[in-house]
Amino acid sequence: MSHPLIKKVAIVGGTHGNEITGVFLVRKYEQYPNLIRRDSFEILTLLANPKAIEEGRRYIDADLNRCFKAQDLQNPKLINYEQLLAKQLAFTIGQSKINLIIDLHSTTSNMGLTVILHNNHPYLLGLAAYLSTINPLVKVLQYPPNQDHSYLRSLCELGFAIEVGPVAQGTLNAELFLQTEALISSILDFIELCNQAITPEIPKTFTLYQQVKAVDYPRDELQQIRAMIYPQLQFKDYEILHTGDPLFLGFDGEVIDYQGESSIFPIFINEAAYYEKHIAMSLAIKQEVTL
Amino acid sequence: MSHPLIKKVAIVGGTHGNEITGVFLVRKYEQYPNLIRRDSFEILTLLANPKAIEEGRRYIDADLNRCFKAQDLQNPKLINYEQLLAKQLAFTIGQSKINLIIDLHSTTSNMGLTVILHNNHPYLLGLAAYLSTINPLVKVLQYPPNQDHSYLRSLCELGFAIEVGPVAQGTLNAELFLQTEALISSILDFIELCNQAITPEIPKTFTLYQQVKAVDYPRDELQQIRAMIYPQLQFKDYEILHTGDPLFLGFDGEVIDYQGESSIFPIFINEAAYYEKHIAMSLAIKQEVTL
């Protein structure tokens, strides 16, 4: 495997101010920098949205992690708090010559330790395969690659997010915190090995989930939610869904079944921040990727 | 058992805007009023903090559920959003001649279905005993009775809160939603029976937890949190704690043990909204109460 030399890595927490696993991890790394020190590259730690962190909110004016489209960063008319902050962060990441971004998120869904890629760069696929082998809790998810990306991680070709859950917004779950810390350590080890031209032991194939669509809550004529995630579907992220399986339970008692194709996998089930985005869950297909 | 005649009950949701179990229950009751209709009394449903509900936040300026001290309600200098709202709500509850308040909350802690009383009124103790018998998931918790109460429920002598959890802020958990709905139905049944002078079947004794103290997170010299809830203590609300049991895991790896008296019960472990109140958990003693 050929691979780029990584000279500088950014570890970012608090892109969403109420996802505090990443916030406290970054603070820990800033207090104990030896934990993330490696010989062949530098690390920049960043708390992306300090004001939102201070207020314990996802964002102040707008979701920061939707403010990084190239055209938006260049648009002088976009001046709400997060739009300005995105420009500042893009400048900082650029100035610091960051080669790779690890953006730390958490979710109320049972996403375990999910690594989210948004392109097919062989380096990222290799990293994902490596992490899948080391820790069976790791899942690799890919968003549709040809979207116009608005995520912080898209500031870098080698950018990705880590989503850990389930954990309530504004809380730390020690077990998930420790697992996330171990995952980051493995990522840094991989970079170190590649930088030293030592090919890490990587399996020839690994499992990749491809997000294919989002599913909204059933709504009434006033656009109010009229159903909840079906009780037995709660926390069943990455478990196969078949045609006819119940998805929602209406406030009127109605059970609403899944009507699409079989062999699809629900993810981000009941993520708190997605209610306002009209997403009750997303659906993904499962693939075996050969490197 | 002698008991007062209840003519009007308030069911309140959204006292905290991001505890949406109560919000959606109240909306459901407003859409299907037959669910809560009883012959002998009227019901007023209320969404206490619509602006916070709209924004998906606990509060806008201050915790509404700490704004109801009698002296604060009469203080014309207290004019932030929730302080004004509290005065309006106190007026509404008073004008409506409410005899009993059910204030609906949720928590990220594993509090199950907890009924929180703040006085020893025999009617409330009888209700608590009744609910404990009907549903073994019900826990009855009493806050110290001689505090100067700042809670919405203290607008009424017969006021109490229901705390359901664990559920992440901003999400609905269908199973807990249905359990809360069934609990409210049992409460209304109890009131109906008492109003009709039919003595409900109540056991002679029931279990009451008395909150005795709050425990803060370990903090550094800058008052920053330096530890998390110990992994094995997470979600262990109402499970007995012994001297020497681990409470916290420091970011530096240190395990911090419980040093107080044995036979105490931790509650509200890792409640998101209590980080800012400097409460990692509360401790309660368990009592058998004889009616």
For B50-81, give the DSSP string: HHHHHHTSS-SSS-GGG---HHHHT-TT--SH
Q: Say if B240 is an interface residue toward chain A (CB within 8 Å).
A: no
Q: In terms of residues, how long is chain A?
A: 291
Q: Say if B28 is an interface residue toward chain A (CB within 8 Å).
A: yes
Mutation test of the interface with chain A: which of B53, B57, B172, B176, choosing the one with the most A Cβ atoms within 10 A? B172
**Cβ–Cβ of A173/B249 closer than 8 Å?**
no
Smallest CA-to-CA distance from B280 within B243, B226, B242, B240 is with B226
Q: Give the confidence band of A146 by pLDDT, cuts at 50, 70, 90.
A: low
Element of type H or E holding B231: none
**Cβ–Cβ of B252/A32 closer than 8 Å?**
yes
Q: What does the pLDDT read at residue B274?
A: 97
Q: What does the pLDDT read at residue A153?
A: 93
CB B261 within 8 A of CB B244: no
**Cβ–Cβ of A175/B56 closer than 8 Å?**
no
Q: Which residues of chain B are within 8 Å of residue A224 when distances are taken between CB atoms?
A: 27
| Size of the A and B interface in Cβ pairs below 8 Å | 89
- A234: nearest CB among B174, B234, B275: B174
- Tell me the shortest Cα–Cα distance from A66 to chain B, in angstroms: 18
CB atoms within 10 A of CB B73: 17
- A108, closest residue in chain B (CA to CA): B168
**Cβ–Cβ of A169/B32 closer than 8 Å?**
no
Q: Say if A109 is an interface residue toward chain B (CB within 8 Å).
A: no
**Residue with structure tokens 């199973």?**
B175
Q: Which residues of chain A are within 8 Å of residue B224 when distances are taken between CB atoms?
A: 27
Q: Say if A197 is an interface residue toward chain B (CB within 8 Å).
A: no
Q: Say if A256 is an interface residue toward chain B (CB within 8 Å).
A: no
- Tell me the shortest Cα–Cα distance from B163 to chain A, in angstroms: 16
The contacts of residue A29 (CB under 8 Å, 6+ apart) are: A11, A35, A36, A43, A45
Chain B segment 82-101 residues within 8 A of A by beta carbon are none
- B253, closest residue in chain A (CA to CA): A178
Q: Say if B272 is an interface residue toward chain A (CB within 8 Å).
A: yes
Q: Which two tokens stand for residue A286?
A: 């499962």
Q: Say if B81 is an interface residue toward chain A (CB within 8 Å).
A: no
Mean pLDDT, each 10-residue run in order, chain B (291 residues): 85 98 98 97 98 97 96 96 97 96 98 94 95 94 80 94 98 98 98 94 94 96 96 98 97 96 94 97 97 88
| Helix/strand/coil for B82 | helix
Cα A231 to Cα B216: distance, rounded to the nearest angstrom: 34
**Residue with structure tokens 């201050």?**
B62
- A228, closest residue in chain B (CA to CA): B174
**Cβ–Cβ of A229/B272 closer than 8 Å?**
no
> How many Cα atoms are found within 13 Å in the side-chain-facing hemisphere of B162?
32
**Cβ–Cβ of B171/A273 closer than 8 Å?**
no
- Helix axis angle, A174-195 relative to A122-134, nearest 10°? 130
Smallest CA-to-CA distance from A281 within A210, A217, A227 is with A217
CA end-to-end distance (rounded Å), chain A: 9
**Residue with structure tokens 């380096």?**
A123
Q: In terms of residues, how long is chain B?
A: 291
Cα A104 to Cα A115: distance, rounded to the nearest angstrom: 10
CB A107 within 8 A of CB A167: yes
Q: Which two tokens stand for residue A93?
A: 């990441």
Chain A segment 111-150 residues within 8 A of B by beta carbon are none
Mutation test of the interface with chain A: which of B171, B225, B236, choosing the one with the most A Cβ atoms within 10 A? B171
Q: What does the pLDDT read at residue B144?
A: 82
- A168: nearest CB among B175, B231, B272: B272
| Helix/strand/coil for B6 | coil
The model's pLDDT over B136-157, given as tens digits with 9 standing for 90+, comes to: 899 999 988 666 689 999 999 9
The model's pLDDT over B89-118, given as tens digits with 9 standing for 90+, comes to: 999 999 999 999 999 999 999 999 999 998
Q: Which residues of chain A are within 8 Å of residue B27 when distances are taken between CB atoms?
A: 224, 251
- Please give the ipTM for the structure prediction: 0.94
- Give the CA distances from residue B53 to residues A76, A130, B22, B58, B169, in Å, rounded to whole numbers and listed in that order: 33, 43, 11, 8, 11
Smallest CA-to-CA distance from B155 within B88, B69, B232, B215 is with B69
- 10 Å CB burial of residue B54 (0-12, 13-18, 19+) is exposed
Q: Give the confidence band of A55 by pLDDT, cuts at 50, 70, 90.
A: very high
- Tell me the shortest Cα–Cα distance from A133 to chain B, in angstroms: 25
The contacts of residue A151 (CB under 8 Å, 6+ apart) are: A65, A66, A68, A103, A118, A159, A161
Q: What does the pLDDT read at residue A264?
A: 97
Q: Which two tokens stand for residue B12?
A: 């309140």
The model's pLDDT over A188-217, given as tens digits with 9 standing for 90+, comes to: 999 999 999 998 889 999 999 999 999 999
- B170: nearest CB among A32, A173, A275: A275
- Tell me the shortest Cα–Cα distance from B175 to chain A, in angstroms: 6
Cα B45 to Cα B28: distance, rounded to the nearest angstrom: 10
Q: What does the pLDDT read at residue B147?
A: 66
Q: Which residues of chain A are within 8 Å of residue B231 when distances are taken between CB atoms?
A: 174-175, 178
Q: Which residues of chain B are within 8 Å of residue A172 when distances are taken between CB atoms?
A: 228-229, 270
**Which range among A135-139, A149-153, A232-236 has the greatest average pLDDT?**
A232-236
Q: Which residues of chain A are within 8 Å of residue B234 when distances are taken between CB atoms?
A: 173-175
What type of residue is A63? D
- Give the CA distances from residue A289 to residues A144, A161, A200, A262, A280, in Å, rounded to whole numbers and listed in that order: 15, 20, 18, 20, 28
Question: Which long-range contacts link B189-192 to residues 24+ away (Cβ below 8 Å)?
Answer: B189/B38, B190/B126, B190/B127, B190/B130, B190/B131, B191/B6, B191/B9, B191/B38, B191/B40, B191/B41, B191/B100, B192/B38, B192/B39, B192/B40, B192/B41
CB B103 within 8 A of CB B15: yes
Q: Which residues of chain A are within 8 Å of residue B168 when distances are taken between CB atoms?
A: 108, 166-169, 272
The per-residue DSSP string of A23-83 comes to HHHHHHHHH-GGGG--SS-EEEEEES-HHHHHHTSS-SSS-GGG---HHHHT-TT--SHHH
- A253, closest residue in chain B (CA to CA): B178
The contacts of residue A98 (CB under 8 Å, 6+ apart) are: A8, A9, A10, A44, A155, A156
Provide φ and ψ at A189, rounded to 5°: -60, -45
Q: pTM, whole model, 2 decimals?
A: 0.96
As a whole number, mean pLDDT of residues A275-285 equals 97
Q: Could you tell me how many helices (H) and strands (E) chain A has, helices first?
A: 6, 12
**Cβ–Cβ of A249/B175 closer than 8 Å?**
no
Cα B152 to Cα B159: distance, rounded to the nearest angstrom: 8
- Average pLDDT of chain A to the nearest whole number: 95
Q: Give the confidence band of A234 by pLDDT, cuts at 50, 70, 90.
A: very high
Q: Which two tokens stand for residue A23?
A: 């916030």
The contacts of residue A85 (CB under 8 Å, 6+ apart) are: A48, A49, A64, A67
Q: Which two tokens stand for residue A284?
A: 């993904």
Evaluate the CA torsion angle B182, B42, B38, B119 in order and state its sign: positive
- Is residue A4 pLDDT above 90, yes or no? no
**Cβ–Cβ of A225/B24 closer than 8 Å?**
yes
